[in-house]
Amino acid sequence: MKYLSILFAAVCACCLVAAAGCIGTDKAPNDLTENPWILDYFVGGNIAEHPAEGSMITLAFSQDRSYSGNGGINSYQGTYTVSGKNLTLGKPSSTKMGGSAALTAQENQYLSNLEAVASYTVTDRKLTVYDTAGNTIMIFEEYLV
């Protein structure tokens, strides 16, 4: 009987350890969600540039697999999936406020870039996102609030 009790306790302990490992898999990695990000550099068409002076483009990831931010004119949000360093952002939805032609073009390019994200790295408080070919499409700096 004592042997069965020990065996039962060992099986229960293994089940608890396995279950604890499963609980954490629904959360996003802290390197994405710890702080919001501010866009420093992006590729638009065949040119690479910094956001227009006076515009602030932001991106924040939540533990619940949603993302949100400001595209320079409008607020936007969407969902994402992450597996290792692979990152997929769902099509963002956004508000429909108007802005200058230049800022609107910049925001449209940025939102398009979000959909092209395939992977990421975080190094020295910078988030770099890449397309499926491994090309850098945007670089963000950590926005310490």
pLDDT of 46: 67
Domain ranges of the chain: 26-142
CATH no. for 26-142: 2.40.128.270
- Residue 61 makes CB contacts below 8 A (sequence gap 6+) with 28, 32, 33, 67, 80
Confidence of residue 23 (pLDDT cuts 50, 70, 90): very low
pLDDT above 90 coverage of the chain, percent: 67
Please state whether the predicted TM-score (pTM) of the whole model is above 0.95.
Answer: no
131 burial type by CB count under 10 A (0-12 exposed, 13-18 middle, 19+ buried)? middle
